[in-house]
Amino acid sequence: MRTISCVTAAVALCVACSASGFALSEPADPPLVNKAAKVGKNRAKSDKNQYWLLNPVPTDQMRSFNTDRPTKSNVPYTVDAGHFQYETDLVNFTHQVTGSVHTNTIFVPNPTFKVGVTNNADLEVNVPIAGVQTFSSSPGPSSTMWGIGDTFVRAKINLWGNDGGSSAAALIPYVKAPSAPLGIGNGAEEEGLIAPVAVSLPNNFTLLLVPETDALKDSADTGRHANFIFDVNLSREVIKNVTAYVEFWADYNDDPIIKTTQLSFDTALAWTIFSNVQLDVGANFGLNSVTPAIQIYAGLSQRF
């Protein structure tokens, strides 16, 4: 029931924020930022607040194709009202070493489905198919498990810059429903808030700053603790329709049993092969022993 209440609240928040004018008025200048580095391609529109889920934004008024892929960061831009978008890992492989124990995790696929609810809000659902293999570098037992992963439901609410301006920001509240079996998930409902901010820089660079706060289940009992993430992402179009990304990611987990800080350096390339289709590849490199040593992935995104 708590999960259903959180999802209902997220949808209500989407509608309420747009209806009350919570999203700030769009500036008249063309925007200079987004994660896909399509600098200056979003065009400011006269008034798109009349459009919603059942009254879609006309094709000629849609903003540039923006995705939260690749890398771990999120963009502050929403899917246009009444339109649908999916973003998925085609394959995502992670290798982690903890002492003598090796853990391989694979997602095949890992889709996120998005629908534009209002001009400044969308609703997003992520449900991966996951496999986890655990083995030891010394003689010992090993295990492999496959199943559906946990379900994440998010509402992205743009605060400003959705259709114009040199910066943009959004709030992304989310809830995780424990749909994964134990061994793939932890069997707990968890939630959090992400707040991406995008800023244009000289020479067509785009900077993303993405703080996140989560409320997670304690590892030893049913208590709760805070988790804090901060992501710094820099991107630039390097050749026509191909964007390169570098990123520094930090995650501090305040679990009362064992507090950990994960750090990674991430790189990626995204290729917009058509106006509404993107392919990407990326690799994330752990910078300390508690962070997965390597994560590699390839993905696809498409808008309708």
Mean pLDDT estimate for the chain: 88
Q: What is the pLDDT of residues 129-180, one digit of tens each?
A: 999 999 988 777 889 999 999 999 999 999 999 998 999 999 999 999 999 9
In whole angstroms, give the CA distance from residue 250 to residue 265.
9
- Please tell me whether residue 304 adopts helix, strand or coil conformation: coil
In whole angstroms, give the CA distance from residue 250 to residue 256.
19
In whole angstroms, give the CA distance from residue 157 to residue 122.
7
Q: What is the pLDDT of residues 244-278, one digit of tens each?
A: 999 999 999 999 999 999 999 999 999 999 999 99
pLDDT at 142: 87
pLDDT at 279: 98
Q: CA Rg, the chain, in Å?
A: 19
The domains found in the chain, sorted by start residue, are 2-303 (2.40.160.40)
For residue 144, what are its two tokens? 């492999």
Q: Is 70 exceeded by the pLDDT of residue 183?
A: yes
In whole angstroms, give the CA distance from residue 293 to residue 97.
7
Q: What is the pLDDT of residues 35-56, one digit of tens each?
A: 544 434 444 445 899 999 999 9
In whole angstroms, give the CA distance from residue 69 to residue 66.
9
Distances (CA, A) of 79 to 116, 168, 230: 5, 14, 24
Q: Among 253, 206, 257, 195, which residue's Cα sits nearest to residue 233?
A: 206
pLDDT at 69: 96
**Segments of the chain assigned E as strands:** 84-98, 101-107, 110-118, 121-126, 129-136, 143-148, 151-160, 167-177, 190-194, 197-200, 206-217, 224-239, 242-253, 260-274, 277-286, 294-303
For residue 172, what are its two tokens? 């992304």
